[in-house]
Amino acid sequence: MKNLNVFALAASDHLVQPEEFSDVQANTSALAILTDFRSHKPHMVDSHLEATEALEMMLAQDVKIKVVVDDSREFIGVISVDDLSNHNMLLKQMALHVNRDELLVRDLMHARASIRALEYDQFKLATVADVVSTMKKTHQEYLLVVDKDAHHIRGIVSARDIASRLHAPVEIEKELTFVDIFTAVKVH
C-alpha cells in the first residue's frame, strides 16, 4: 500500500469549475460533455412541486436543467430554467386557467415521450461536433443518453452546457408545433 502525502491548502488554491478550462473543442470526445448518471447523481425535481418553487431552487443551486420524477422516483420528463420563465408560466397559466402558484413542474416540463435519446454505444464514439449537429437537426436543446442493452438512462447533454464548455454559442432553433402556433394565436 502506498503512503500518500497530505498537505494544507495554500491561500491561492481555489475551487475550479468546468467552464474555466478550454479543454473541450468540436473534435473532443462526446463523453467530455456527458453528465453521466453512472458517476454523478442526476439533478432531480418532483413533478408535483410548484413551478415557482422549482425555479427558485434551480437558481439557488445554479442548476439549469433537472430530470423530473414521479412519486416512485421514475423519470417522467425534463425541465429547464428556460421552461420556467415568466413568459412560459404566463402562457401556461392562461392555457390552464390557473393562478401562478397552482402551476406545477409537470405542467411545464417536457414529457418523457417528447424527449429524444442517443444510444450510449454510439455516443461514446461521437465528437462534440456530432452531438451539436444532431441537436440542431432534431431541434433538441438536450438529449438523453441511453444504454439500450441495460435499459438505463445513462446521462444527459444540453446545448447550454456544451456552449459553456466550448466558450461559444450553440443555437438550437425550436421546432414549432401545432400547439405552439395555437397557443400563440389564442394568446393574441
Q: Provide the pLDDT for residue 174.
A: 80
Q: Provide the pLDDT for residue 111.
A: 96
Q: How many domains is the chain partitioned into structurally? A: 1
Task: List, for residues 29-87, the tens digit of each pLDDT value.
Answer: 999 999 999 999 999 999 999 999 999 999 999 999 999 999 999 999 999 999 999 99
Q: CA-CA distance, 152 to 132, in Å (whole number)?
A: 23
- Establish if 156 belongs to a structural domain: yes
Sign of CA dihedral 66, 183, 179, 159: negative
Amino acid type, 164: S
Q: Provide the pLDDT for residue 23.
A: 87
- Establish if 186 belongs to a structural domain: no
Task: List, for residues 125-179, the tens digit of each pLDDT value.
Answer: 999 999 999 999 999 999 999 999 999 999 999 999 999 999 999 998 887 666 6
Taking residue 32's Cβ as centre, other Cβ atoms within 10 Å add up to 14
Burial class (CB in 10 A: 0-12, 13-18, 19+), 144: buried
**Structural domain that includes position 143:** 24-180
- Establish if 163 belongs to a structural domain: yes
CATH at residue 100: 3.10.580.10
Q: Which residues contact 69 (CB under 8 A, 6 or more apart)?
A: 44, 45, 46, 47, 75, 76
- Establish if 188 belongs to a structural domain: no
Task: List, for residues 86-100, the tens digit of each pLDDT value.
Answer: 999 999 999 999 999
The more confident residue out of 179 and 122 is: 122
- Establish if 4 belongs to a structural domain: no
- Establish if 9 belongs to a structural domain: no
